[in-house]
Amino acid sequence: QVQLVESGGGLVQSGDSLRLSCAASGRTFSSYDMGWFRQAPGNEREFVAAINRPGGSSRYIDAVKGRFTISRDNAKNTLYLQMNSLKPEDTAIYYCAATSHNGMPAKTKSYQYWGQGTQVTVSS
The pLDDT value given to residue 1: 81
**27 or 45, higher pLDDT:** 45
> 42, exposed or middle or buried, with CB in 10 Å at 0-12, 13-18, 19+?
exposed
Which stretches of 4-91 are assigned E, i.e. beta strand? 4-7, 10-13, 18-24, 33-39, 46-51, 58-60, 68-73, 78-83
Q: Which pLDDT value is given to residue 26?
A: 77
State mean pLDDT over 54-81: 97
pLDDT in tens, 5-33: 999 999 999 999 999 999 999 778 999 99
> Predicted confidence band at 55 (pLDDT cuts at 50, 70, 90)?
very high
> Tell me: the pLDDT tens digits for 74-122?
999 999 999 999 999 999 999 999 999 999 999 999 999 999 999 999 9
pLDDT of residue 45: 97
pLDDT higher for 117 or 1? 117
